[in-house]
Structure 1
Amino acid sequence: MAATSLRDRLSGMGPTWLAGAIATGPATIGALVTAGASFDYALLWVVVLSAVLGATAQYLAMRLGLLTEAGIVAVVEEHLGEAWAWLLVADAVVAAGLAQLVIMKTLAGVSAAVTGVGPVVWAVVWSLVLAVGLAGGGYRYAELGAKVLVSLVVLLFVASLFVVPVDLGAAAAGLVPSIPAGVEGALLAAGILGGAVHIALVTMQSYTMRARGWTVEDAALARFDVAASMLVAFGIASLAIFLVAASVLGDPGLGVVGAANALGPLVGADARWLFLLGLWGAAVTTLGGNTVVPPYLVADKMGWRQDTEDGRYRATVAAFALVSALGVFIPGAVFGLLVQALAIGFVGTPFVLLLVLYLLNDPGAVPETNSALENVGGVLLIGVSTVVAGQWVQRVAAGGLADPASLAILAFAGVLAAAMLGLVAMAVRDRLTDDPEPAVVAD
């Protein structure tokens, strides 16, 4: 009976695999490889922490989706007001859009390296594949692709680990928390955590569960889904990638294909191809999952159906997929861009996590508010993400404000920090007044 139950759960899970597909992407790989090549095993503790925090974030998002049976934007608008809903949409679209462009650049570059055909051609091809596949096939197409490719990616990276010598003593020392000095250390820590705890992953959870028709009666399956995809699959893949980089790569300036090529003369051609194929698969899965995130939120805010039967939603998915081809023209080294994109997305994530935690403690929003343990997990998650993101923002500010990109990052962080303070003040007010149904904020 237990075996049958396990088989049922394995076949029935799915929504969090899309989140895992985005998390196990080239942006995360870029951060992991750069961290290992730059600081050896020093940031291994961040890699382990990222899987734990990623699973915690998805659990809370899953819980909100099951209890409300609605998209997160609709829930925010109903209980906090339209201005908060628009801020959530803008935050998610900026983070997911930036990641989409950089990941398309990555996928086009890897495809070009494997086939010899130019990256611009591949960017157009992949954008068309995404547009036709996701706008035509819908959620089930994305979920099936995520399950197959994420499983393949995990196997490929774990296989590459077996052909690379790992210094177990040095790895054990890397489990002691410390962040190397300078902007780069903080940036890489934010990038690694941003791969697992990202606004795109948190916001999409309620929509993918609705696409599957999950309710509170499916809570056990949903918890299994979160644990299997984020804690196990994502965690194992992240550890394997980081340990490979920390063990044999010593050049933090390696490009997207450079890391894979460097493995050839160091530990053999098998490791090179395993790593390169894993990177390719990760890019495909991430683009597939990430493409539907902004359309989900925009459709929810506009009152459209969040499935391909609604032509407006379908057109939004196709448009976002096609625009992503422009990412191939972004200048700069891909790994550096990937880490920057993750870190920027991570800056926008604590706000969304606080929104989720606030709503899970609002009896007017959910029929069953959080337990003390769930709140402790949520507070720790928000605290860690805020501190790590704040350290990076602080070091960006210390680097000077002449760069327009730095000014944009600081402005983005400032707006969201003010919103978080507003949410905390509202939560304190609600607790002091013991008001079971907090008043909707006027726009």
Structure 2
Amino acid sequence: MSDATPTLSGNRLAGVRERLSGMGPAWVAGAVAAGPATMASLVTAGAAFDYALLWVVVLSAAAGTLAQYLAMRLGLLTERGIVAVVEAHLGERWAWLLVADVVVAAGAAQLVILNTLATVTATVTGVSAGACGVAWALVLAGGLAGRGYDFLELAAKLLVAGVVVAFVSSLLVVPVDPGAAARGLVPTLPAGSAVLAAGILGGAVHVTLVTMHSYTMRARGWSASDAGLAVFDVVASMFVAFGVYSVAIFLVAASVLSDPNLTTVGAAEALGPLVGPSAEWLFLLGLGGAAVSTLGGNTVAPPFLLADKLGWGTTVEDGRYRAFLAGFALLSAPGAFIGGEVLGQLVLVLALGTVGTPFALALVLYLLNSPAAPEPTSALANVGGVAVFLVSGALATNFVRGEVAGGVGPLSGGVLAFAVVVAVATVGLAGKYVREEVGSA
């Protein structure tokens, strides 16, 4: 018996090591989630409302994990990209609508995130933001189009781990109020916080993350037999790493920053005199790392879906996909010349992505409960998925209402038009499911 114990312990340790080394696809999604847009929402929420929105931060990690689990399950069961599955079971128009949803959300985010990275790089190096932005676009295009998914996954793991360490280190030198933090776990939505709440949740439950997961798993060659590793991958990336990242940033901001009009780089600079220069530099390094990690994952999403819709390969071995990938990376360069304060822009594009997310979630839930999935989805997973769908839909509705309340201009009008299209499609999909269920009863 005594001889068996070390062997059993060794086997368990080897199993854990195997799972840790085997992780990957969910970390690409986690790299996108743990980006500067999420960071902007967290910093602004903490600075403007202290600890009041901590419950949204915790909810976002749980909701993001569940959304990725559902997307992962669909990908494993069908062993196809989500666009191909939608087209096969719903038709071409639904597939094109999903592609358009992702291109709009990811395209807007791409420009603003590159602007953020260029701003941070310019602050650190003294080189102009425009030159920094162009250089980063070239690096992005060369890295992704040249080395493909393996490069993306390795970069995602390293950058997410580094960003989490940076912000947890910042948290260690910041005085947190435990009592106020505990009160922030009680759900409440202060006046004027709807867009920030949508931004925080949108960082974890986003149309880009939901739709790209089937493609990253295909790049890994995963199938239904890898379900255990895939679940471990999702939980470790979204719930643990992303959850720690989000809570650490929010607590830093809520504890020492108090300025509703705080700027992105200003947040880092404000930490210096308050809690020491180490926190300022850790904050800047974390922001830069978050921007780099998000750009990599965000860049591959539209090419994945477009190539799948056109029947092309979704790896760099297919020259057409590689051209899509390099082109989308290079098209992000103009983002460095947008100008203006990026904090508000980041929150806005994240909330815009939230508008397109309920439609993607509805598609995943519909397909998981259709003949497309050879195995039934548990009632618990369905209930959780519907809950995430309803929460994201409510936050998206509040965001659109707030945009329109300020007057319908070019930006708010575009947001409204986008919201109407995806809302009509989502209602139509729900009606289709109900009719099919009634017809089969």
Alignment match, 1:397 = 404
SS for the counterpart of 2:186 is coil
1:107 equivalenced with 2:117 (yes/no): yes
Q: Distance in 1 between matches of 2:260 and 2:123?
A: 20
For residue 104 of structure 2, the aligned residue among 94, 102, 110 is 94
Q: Displacement of 1:328 after TM fit?
A: 1.2
Amino acid in the other structure paired with 2:65: A
In the alignment, residue 361 of structure 1 is paired with which amino acid?
N
Amino acid at match of 1:366: A
Question: Mapping of 1:340-379 within 5 angstroms?
Answer: 340-362=348-370, 364-379=371-386
Structure 2 CA distance for aligned equivalents of residues 205 and 431 of structure 1 = 28
Corresponding position: 1:59 with 2:66: no
| Structure 1: 5+ residue stretches without partners | 436-443
**Aligned letter for 2:142?**
V
Residue in structure 2 matching 1:249, options 257, 261, 271: 257
User: Helix, strand or coil for the counterpart of 1:348?
Assistant: helix
- The CA deviation string for residues 221-274 of structure 1, in whole angstroms up to 9 with x for no partner, is 000000000000000000000000000011232222111111000000011111
Q: Kindly indicate whether residue 297 of structure 2 is the aligned counterpart of residue 289 of structure 1.
A: yes
* Match among 197, 202, 205 for residue 205 of structure 2: 197
1:142 match: 152
Aligned residue number for residue 388 of structure 1: 395
Measure, in 2, the Cα distance between the counterparts of 1:108 and 1:255.
15
State the 1:430 CA deviation: 1.0
Q: Is the Cα contact below 8 Å between 1:191 and 1:339 reproduced in 2?
A: yes
Match of 2:267 among 255, 259, 269: 259
- On the 8 A contact 2:163/2:290 being kept in 1, the answer is yes
Residue 233 of structure 1 aligns to which amino acid in structure 2? A
Question: Hey, what's the Cα distance between the residues in 2 that align with 1:39 and 1:372?
Answer: 37
From 48, 55, 76, the counterpart of 1:38: 48
CA shift, 1:374, in A, is 1.1
Contact 1:22 1:285 in 2 (8 A): yes
Counterpart among 403, 406, 410 of residue 412 in structure 2: 406
Measured in 2, the distance between the counterparts of 1:307 and 1:404 equals 37
Pairing 1:167-316 to 2, within 5 Å after superposition: 167-182=177-192, 185-316=193-324
Same amino acid, percent of matched pairs? 67
| 1:69 and 1:215 in contact (8 A); partners too | yes
1:421 maps to which residue? 427
- How far apart are residue 331 of structure 1 and its match? 3.5
Any gaps of 5 or more consecutive residues in structure 2?
1-10
1:2 aligns with 2:12: yes
Question: Which whole-Å CA distance do the structure 2 matches of 1:434 and 1:126 have between them?
Answer: 54
User: Distance in 2 between the 1:275 and 1:31 partners?
Assistant: 15
SS state at 1:381 partner: helix
Q: In terms of mean alpha carbon deviation, does 306-315 or 392-401 score higher?
A: 392-401
Mapped to 2, the partners of 1:17 and 1:35 lie a distance apart of: 25
Q: Is the 8 A contact 1:109 1:256 kept in 2?
A: no
State the distance in 1 between where 2:366 and 2:250 align: 34
Contact 2:40/2:346 (<8 A) preserved: yes
1:115 Cα offset (Å): 0.7
Counterpart residue number, 1:434:
440
Asked if the contact 1:105/1:334 (under 8 Å) is kept, the reply is yes
Distance apart, 1:319 and its partner CA: 0.5
SS of the residue corresponding to residue 95 of structure 1 reads helix
Q: For the residues of structure 2 that align with 1:337 and 1:218, how far apart are their CA atoms?
A: 39
**How far apart, in 1, do the equivalents of 2:261 and 2:331 lie?**
28
State the 1:425 CA deviation: 0.6
Structure 2 residue identity aligned to 1:347: V
In the alignment, what sits opposite 1:16? 26
Q: Are the counterparts in 2 of residues 131 and 317 from structure 1 also a CA contact under 8 Å? A: yes
CA contact (8 A) 1:45 1:174 kept: yes
1:269-299 deviations in whole A, cap 9, x for unaligned? 0111111111111111011111101000000
Name the Cα RMSD after superposition.
0.8
Q: Which residue number corresponds to residue 441 of structure 1?
A: none
Partner-residue secondary structure (3-state), 2:331: helix
What is the alpha-carbon distance in structure 1 between the residues aligned to residue 117 and residue 339 of structure 2? 15
Q: 1:25 touches 1:282 (CA, 8 Å); kept in 2?
A: yes
- TM-score, with length taken from structure 2: 0.97
Deviation (angstroms), 1:398: 2.1
- Superposed structure 1 runs of 4+ greater than 6 Å apart: none
Q: Distance in 1 between matches of 2:85 and 2:265?
A: 43
CA distance in 2, matches of 1:396, 1:123: 29
User: SS of the residue aligned with 1:94?
Assistant: helix
CA shift at 1:173, angstroms?
A: 0.9
SS of the equivalent of 1:257 reads helix
Q: Which residue pairs with 2:7 in the alignment?
A: none
Counterparts of 1:157 and 1:357 in 2: how far apart (Å)? 34
Contact 2:77/2:223 (<8 A) preserved: yes
> Partners of 1:201 and 1:136 in 2: how far apart?
23
Alignment length, in residue pairs?
431
Question: Which residue of 2 is the match for residue 438 of structure 1?
Answer: none
Aligned residue for 1:250, secondary structure, equals coil
Amino acid paired to 2:234: V
Once the two structures are superposed, residues 358-396 of structure 1 have per-residue CA deviations (whole angstroms, 9 ceiling, x without a partner) of: 00000x211012111111111111011111111111222
Classify the secondary structure of the residue corresponding to 2:324.
Answer: helix
Which AA in structure 2 matches 1:407? G
After superposition, the C-alpha distances for 1:130-186 in whole angstroms (9 at most, x for unaligned) are 10000010000000000011001001100000000001111111111111113xx11
Q: CA deviation at 1:404?
A: 1.2
Q: TM-score, normalised by structure 1?
A: 0.96
